[in-house]
């Protein structure tokens, strides 16, 4: 046993180094089939034994560090630890029939205990021996077994699954940050967007190197030092948006996996596993290298998660509103209708009722048939009115907000739940926003074109009703005259507000204003009512035309221009005038 006493030190970057190797190792362990765990590896151990062995030695660390802090010596409280071979043999014997999932859970627990220990020591000066005890059983131990982990990878499928095992959490963590955070600086000084560009560049470079290796059989270097390549990658990413950078990352990852899929078993093992080393260093090992840096920004408390949800919801919901009801039956750039896309979003928000309880406990839970559910929602959306689809989406989002608000405010949320909530809310909104973003008016000419288009339909359907039927009830219950009075009043209100007479509205005041407008026109005849509506629409159009181009899309201005006129008429076209959206 060691009784060595060293100097005083601090932990420095120990936690990121521990996370790096643990995350990399888990990417290797997790995707391999259970029958692979009992095959002998080059070291003579099985994968089962390696897994149990790593966990068992990590479990010794907290009491040993406590002893060092108390006595200055690494004294073992259990005699069997002094005989390393006997300890290893005992661990192997005790775990030879243990389910693999239980061993993985044991390693996760031992790692969590190490992380908690290191965090408790951060910022303190401690005996160097305490740091050494941690390193001996983590950062200096995992590499001893990387040869075995590489040997367990036999096929292209094995390697691709290992890459994706690390990729999933890395990519979902980036997504969980939200777009606003991507340009914030990490603990190492660059931005999260630059980190994503860096990861994308190295994956793309690895794909190129694998392609050359497959074609020629020759190993090849990356074409520069790490610092030179990093500088080049970050420079190339300058000026790119967060969306563009993440798209580059996804494309690079897809390309790398495609190259991996084409490797033969012989190529995977050739040149001492050169292909595995290149892939590991530029994908799952690389994700582990940046794990602590990235995950420090992941929203872990309910308030943080709610902030990200709202940041993603507002621009998406604004785009839906500004697109209007009429366009939601149109086909988006993704090949389905906007109603289908919104139904899809609403369904997956609703699905959190079933899956979130499992995720909050760190469990995966039931796995749905994603394609079948998507197909079902797409088919059903055709018969749903656009207004119903939007209400369903609003209700589903509001329910999720309540769920998150009711989580314990001072407790961290398990990452399994964070990635699910992010993936089905703000990350999902971000994914589909481009499909309808282009439908929003981009300038005054677009606004006027939409105004004229909807006005012509609105007024045309009123002509079909005719003056003689203006006092008849509409499908929603009031008379056509009352609806015209209501529409004309909001056009007049818009002209006044755009002229500076702004008001602050709430649901109660809006209802009172609607009632006032209808009551004020009870004695107005059909012809006079339609004349007033036409005059109000003409004045509103003239007012819009007078607004400078650089002001028309200001949220406050557009909130009056669009929602008091053509977006308002679309509601009544559907509710009162027989239009189907």
Identify the CATH number of the domain in which residue 143 sits: 1.20.120.450
21 and 126 in a single domain? The answer is yes
pLDDT recorded at residue 552: 94
Does residue 162 lie within any of the structural domains? yes
**Of the listed ranges 204-213, 311-320, 441-450, 497-506, the one predicted with least confidence:** 497-506
Q: How confident is the model at residue 7 (pLDDT cuts 50, 70, 90)?
A: low
Q: What is the pLDDT of residues 240-253, one digit of tens each?
A: 999 999 999 999 99
Q: Which domain holds residue 66?
A: 1-152
Residue of higher predicted confidence among 578 and 9: 578
pLDDT recorded at residue 581: 85
390 and 517 in a single domain? The answer is no
Does residue 580 lie within any of the structural domains? no
Q: Which of 152, 175, 198 is the last residue of a domain?
A: 152
Does residue 339 lie within any of the structural domains? yes
13 and 137 in a single domain? The answer is yes
Distance CA 179, CA 175 (A): 8
387 and 448 in a single domain? The answer is no
Mean pLDDT of the chain: 94
221 and 268 in a single domain? The answer is yes
Average pLDDT, integer, range 182-193: 95
Does residue 553 lie within any of the structural domains? yes
For residues 200-229, b (16+ Cβ closer than 10 Å) or e, as one string?
A: bbbbbbbbbbbeebeeeeeeeebeeeeeeb
Q: Which of 246, 268, 298 is the last residue of a domain?
A: 298
Average pLDDT, integer, range 519-539: 96
Helix (H) / strand (E) containing 330: none
pLDDT recorded at residue 84: 87
Does residue 554 lie within any of the structural domains? yes
Q: Which of 279, 298, 317 is the last residue of a domain?
A: 298
Portion of the chain with pLDDT greater than 90, in percent? 91
Q: What is the pLDDT of residues 19-31, one digit of tens each?
A: 999 999 999 999 9
**Of the listed ranges 57-61, 219-223, 563-567, the one predicted with least confidence:** 219-223
Phi, psi of 365 (to 5 degrees): 80, -175
Take residue 158 and report the two structure tokens written for it. Answer: 């094995």
For residues 421-438, b (16+ Cβ closer than 10 Å) or e, as one string?
A: bbebbbbbbbbbbebbbe
284 and 164 in a single domain? The answer is yes
Does residue 570 lie within any of the structural domains? yes
421 and 448 in a single domain? The answer is no
Helix (H) / strand (E) containing 137: none
User: Quick one: DSSP state of residue 127?
Assistant: E
Average pLDDT, integer, range 407-428: 98
Take residue 22 and report the two structure tokens written for it. Answer: 């643990």
Q: What is the pLDDT of residues 298-334, one digit of tens each?
A: 999 999 999 999 999 999 999 999 999 999 999 999 9
Is the pLDDT assigned to residue 10 strictly greater than 80? no
248 and 185 in a single domain? The answer is yes
212 and 337 in a single domain? The answer is no
Average pLDDT, integer, range 568-579: 94
Phi, psi of 301 (to 5 degrees): -100, 155
* Beta-carbon contacts of residue 143 (< 8 Å; ≥ 6 apart): 21
397 and 489 in a single domain? The answer is no
pLDDT recorded at residue 88: 92
Q: How confident is the model at residue 12 (pLDDT cuts 50, 70, 90)?
A: confident
Does residue 511 lie within any of the structural domains? yes
Does residue 581 lie within any of the structural domains? no
- pTM (predicted TM-score): 0.87
Structural domain count, the chain = 4
182 and 106 in a single domain? The answer is no
pLDDT recorded at residue 210: 97
Q: How confident is the model at residue 2 (pLDDT cuts 50, 70, 90)?
A: very low
Beta strands in 296-377 (DSSP E): none
pLDDT recorded at residue 5: 47
Q: What is the pLDDT of residues 80-112, one digit of tens each?
A: 567 888 899 999 999 999 999 999 999 999 999
pLDDT recorded at residue 76: 59
**Of the listed ranges 114-118, 206-210, 234-238, 316-320, the one predicted with least confidence:** 234-238
93 and 140 in a single domain? The answer is yes
């Amino acid at each position: 046993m060691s009784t060595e006493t060293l100097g005083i030190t601090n932990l420095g970057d120990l936690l990121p180094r521990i996370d790096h190797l643990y995350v990399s190792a888990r990417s290797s362990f997790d995707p391999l089939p259970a029958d692979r765990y009992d095959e002998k590896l080059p070291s003579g151990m099985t994968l089962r034994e390696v897994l149990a062995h790593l966990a068992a030695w990590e479990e010794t660390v907290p009491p040993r560090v406590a002893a060092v802090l108390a006595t200055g010596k690494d004294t073992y409280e259990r005699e069997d630890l002094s005989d390393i071979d006997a300890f290893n043999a005992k661990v192997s014997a005790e775990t030879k029939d243990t389910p693999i999932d239980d061993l993985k859970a044991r390693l996760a627990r031992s790692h969590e205990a190490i992380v908690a220990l290191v965090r408790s020591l951060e910022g303190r000066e401690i005996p160097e021996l305490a740091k050494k005890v941690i390193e001996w059983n983590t950062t200096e131990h995992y590499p001893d077994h990387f040869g075995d982990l590489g040997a367990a990878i036999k096929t292209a499928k094995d390697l691709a699954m290992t890459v994706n095992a690390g990729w999933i959490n890395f990519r979902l963590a980036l997504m969980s940050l939200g777009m606003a955070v991507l340009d914030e600086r990490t603990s190492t000084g660059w931005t999260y967007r630059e980190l994503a560009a860096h990861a994308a560049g190295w994956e793309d470079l690895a794909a190129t190197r694998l392609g050359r290796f497959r074609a020629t059989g020759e190993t090849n270097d990356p074409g520069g030092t790490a610092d030179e390549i990093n500088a080049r990658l970050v420079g190339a990413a300058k000026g790119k948006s967060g969306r563009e950078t993440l798209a580059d990352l996804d494309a690079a990852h897809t390309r790398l996996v495609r190259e991996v899929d084409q490797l033969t078993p012989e190529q995977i093992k050739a040149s001492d596993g050169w292909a595995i080393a290149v892939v590991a260093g530029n994908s799952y090992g690389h994700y582990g290298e940046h794990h602590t840096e990235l995950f420090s920004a992941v929203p872990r408390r309910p308030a943080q998660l709610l902030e990200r949800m709202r940041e993603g919801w507002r621009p998406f919901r604004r785009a839906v509103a500004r697109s209007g009801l009429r366009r939601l039956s149109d086909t988006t750039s993704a090949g389905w209708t906007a109603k289908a896309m919104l139904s899809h979003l609403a369904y997956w928000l609703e699905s959190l009722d079933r899956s979130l309880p499992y995720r909050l406990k760190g469990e995966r839970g039931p796995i749905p048939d994603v394609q079948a559910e998507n197909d079902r929602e797409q088919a059903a959306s055709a018969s749903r009115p656009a207004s119903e689809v939007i209400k369903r989406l609003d209700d589903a989002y509001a329910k999720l907000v309540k769920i998150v608000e009711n989580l314990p405010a001072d407790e961290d949320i398990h990452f399994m739940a964070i990635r699910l909530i992010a993936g089905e809310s703000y990350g999902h909104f971000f994914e589909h926003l481009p499909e309808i973003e282009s439908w929003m008016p981009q300038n005054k000419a677009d606004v006027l074109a939409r105004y004229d288009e909807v006005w012509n339909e609105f007024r045309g359907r009123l002509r079909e009703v005719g003056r003689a039927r203006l006092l008849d009830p509409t499908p929603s219950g009031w008379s056509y005259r009352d609806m015209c009075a209501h529409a004309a009043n909001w056009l007049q209100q818009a002209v006044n507000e755009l002229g500076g007479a702004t008001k602050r509205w709430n649901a109660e005041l809006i209802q009172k204003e609607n009632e006032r407008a209808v009551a004020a026109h009870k004695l107005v005849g059909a012809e006079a009512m339609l004349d007033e509506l036409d005059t109000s629409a003409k004045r509103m159009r003239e007012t819009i035309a007078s607004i400078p181009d650089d002001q028309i899309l200001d949220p406050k201005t557009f909130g009056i221009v669009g929602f008091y006129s053509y977006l308002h008429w679309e509601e009544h076209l559907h509710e009162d005038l027989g239009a189907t959206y």
